[in-house]
């Protein structure tokens, strides 16, 4: 598969604030790439660099094999962008904006435009100023999804959408991928990424701290093993087993946090003690995400994120 987006050592500072700190991102053709991170991690800055709206201070960025700053206009023919906070012209209707953006991009698929308006339940005759946040978001989404372009850059596109509309979005994002289009989906809504993304990159303080397919990421982190044993084991002993991190005992039940790669081994060791019940849960994306930020949540206040770096 060819690489659609590639950044190497991307750096961007605003005054004394380091927004991007050597960011390496790779997005391959035909995938939905979840770009995860909390507010202020550098997601929007990355996307703006990729759009050529701002210029990186260091490192390289390549979009469809070209430089996003110097070839911006050429590249923009092949992509559609949805910002996280869509601003509309107060006196233009939603329908006018959809047509305008479509024409400025080089054409809309009429059939899909009509279909999307219906699916998103958007009234195209209302003026920009009378749309709610969610409806402004829909205007940009319809314009982007109805454009016939190979690349979609979506920066928290569903902010302000209700859960039903999020599902509609997920359906069309997946459909776009199935047509062979590439989607960079920045988000902090984990369920959305989990439902759609083939590949996930977690960004933190301006750099990618983890990247891989969901299966890869899961494998690299811990699963939860919940075992009820006929002959209880002392937790102190279990903690010594390779791959076991924490052990919690609840009468004859043991709840273990185990490296996913060590699950088989651990279950094997539990076997001789008479397993009466056993569940094994792979980590959810939320747990993956939180594991990258755990030290920030539990660490001492004031610990600088840059120092509290975690790698999986």
Partner 1 sequence: MSTFAGTGALLRLAWRRDRWVVTSAVLAMAAMAYAAMAATLDLYPSDAEAAAGARLMAATPSVAALYGPLPSLTAAGVGVLKTIMMGSLFAAFLAFALVRRHTRTEEEEGRLELVGGGVVGRRAPLAAAVSLAVLSVLATGALSALALLPTGVDPVGSVALGVTIVVAGLVMTGITAVAVQLTTTTRGAGGVALAVLGLAFVVRAGADTSESGQDLVYASFLGWAERVSPFGDNRLWMVLPALAVTAALLVAADVLLQRRDLGAGLWASRPGPARAGARLGSPFGLAWRLHRGALLGWTIAYAVLGSVVGSLAASVSDIASSPGMEQMLRKMSGGQGSVLDAFFGTELRFLAVGVAAYGITTALRLHSEEDAGRAEVVLATRVTRWSWLASHVTIAMGGALWLLFVGGLSAGAAAGAVSPTGVGELLPAALATAPAVLVCVGLTVALFGLLPRWTPAAWGLLAAFLLLGEFGALLELPDWALGLSPFDHLGSLPGGDANPTGLAVLLVLAAAVTALGAVTFRRRDLAT
Residues forming contacts to partner 1 in the complex (CB under 8 A) are 44, 48, 51, 53-55, 72-74, 76-77, 79, 81, 83, 85-93, 95-101, 103-106, 124-127, 129-130, 140, 153
* Minimum distance from residue 53 beta carbon to partner 1 (Å): 4
Q: Could you give the CA distance from residue 90 to residue 111 in angstroms, rounded to a whole number?
A: 27
161-to-116, 230, 307 alpha-carbon distances in Å: 15, 50, 36
Q: Locate 272 and state its tokens.
A: 């001789």
Which are the contacts of 193, defined by CB distance < 8 A and separation ≥ 6? Answer: 34, 36, 185, 187, 200, 285
Query: CA 290 to CA 108: how far, in whole Å?
Result: 40
Q: Alpha-carbon dihedral of residues 81, 85, 91, 96, nearest 10 degrees?
A: 30
For 52-81, b/e burial (b = at least 16 CB within 10 A) is bebebeebebbbbeeebbeeeeebbebbbb
Least distance to partner 1 from the beta carbon of 102, Å? 9
**Exposure b/e, 216-252, CB count within 10 A at least 16 = b:** ebbbbbbbbbebbbeeebeeeebeebebbeebeeeee
103 vs 171 by CB, closer to partner 1: 103
CB of 254 to partner 1, least distance (A): 49
By beta-carbon proximity to partner 1, the closer residue of 50 and 238 is: 50
Q: How far is the CB of 257 from partner 1 (least distance, A)?
A: 41
| Residue (52 or 283) nearer to partner 1, CB | 52
Phi, psi angles (nearest 5°) of residue 128: -50, -40
CB of 31 to partner 1, least distance (A): 21
- Check if the beta carbon of residue 288 is closer than 8 Å to that of residue 221: yes
**CB 148 to partner 1: min, Å:** 13
Other residues' Cβ atoms within 10 Å of the Cβ of residue 288:
24
Which is nearer to partner 1, 104 or 277 (by Cβ)? Answer: 104
C-alpha to C-alpha distance for 210 and 36, rounded to whole angstroms: 10
The torsion angle over the Cα atoms of residues 89, 75, 83 and 166, rounded to 10 degrees, is: 110
Q: Is 176 exposed, middle or buried (0-12, 13-18, 19+ CB in 10 A)?
A: buried
Which is nearer to partner 1, 152 or 200 (by Cβ)?
Answer: 152
**Smallest distance from partner 1 to CB 2, Å:** 22
C-beta closer to partner 1: residue 118 or 237: 118
Q: Give the residue with the Cβ less far from partner 1, 53 or 215.
A: 53
Residue with tokens 């006929």: 230
| Minimal distance, residue 140 CB to partner 1, in Å | 7
Closer residue to partner 1 (CB): 133 or 294: 133
């Amino acid at each position: 598969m060819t690489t659609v987006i590639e950044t190497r050592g991307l750096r961007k500072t605003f005054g004394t604030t380091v927004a991007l700190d050597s960011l390496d991102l790779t997005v391959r053709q035909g995938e939905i790439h979840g770009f995860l991170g909390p507010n202020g991690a550098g997601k929007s800055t990355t996307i703006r660099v990729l759009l050529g709206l701002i210029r990186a201070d260091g490192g390289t960025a390549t979009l469809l094999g070209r430089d996003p700053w110097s070839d911006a206009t050429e590249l923009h023919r092949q992509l559609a962008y949805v910002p996280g906070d869509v601003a509309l012209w107060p006196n233009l209707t939603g329908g006018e904006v959809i047509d305008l953006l479509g024409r400025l991009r080089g054409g809309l698929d009429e059939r899909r435009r009509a279909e999307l308006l219906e699916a998103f339940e958007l009234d195209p005759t209302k003026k920009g100023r009378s749309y709610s946040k969610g409806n402004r978001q829909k205007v940009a989404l319809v314009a982007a999804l109805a454009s016939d372009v190979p690349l979609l850059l979506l920066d928290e596109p569903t902010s302000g959408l209700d859960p039903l509309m999020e599902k509609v979005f997920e359906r069309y994002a997946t459909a776009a991928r199935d047509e062979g289009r590439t989607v960079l989906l920045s988000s902090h809504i984990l369920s959305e990424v989990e439902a759609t993304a083939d590949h996930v990159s977690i960004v933190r303080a301006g750099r990618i701290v983890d990247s891989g397919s969901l299966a890869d990421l899961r494998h690299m982190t811990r699963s939860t093993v919940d075992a009820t044993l006929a002959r209880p084991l002392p937790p102190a002993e279990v903690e010594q087993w390779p791959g076991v991190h924490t052990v919690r005992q609840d009468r004859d039940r043991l709840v273990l946090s185990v490296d996913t790669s060590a699950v088989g081994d651990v279950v094997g060791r539990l076997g001789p003690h008479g397993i009466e019940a056993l569940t094994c849960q792979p980590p959810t994306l939320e747990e993956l995400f939180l594991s990258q930020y755990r030290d920030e949540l539990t660490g001492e206040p004031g610990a600088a994120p840059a120092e509290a770096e975690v790698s999986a």
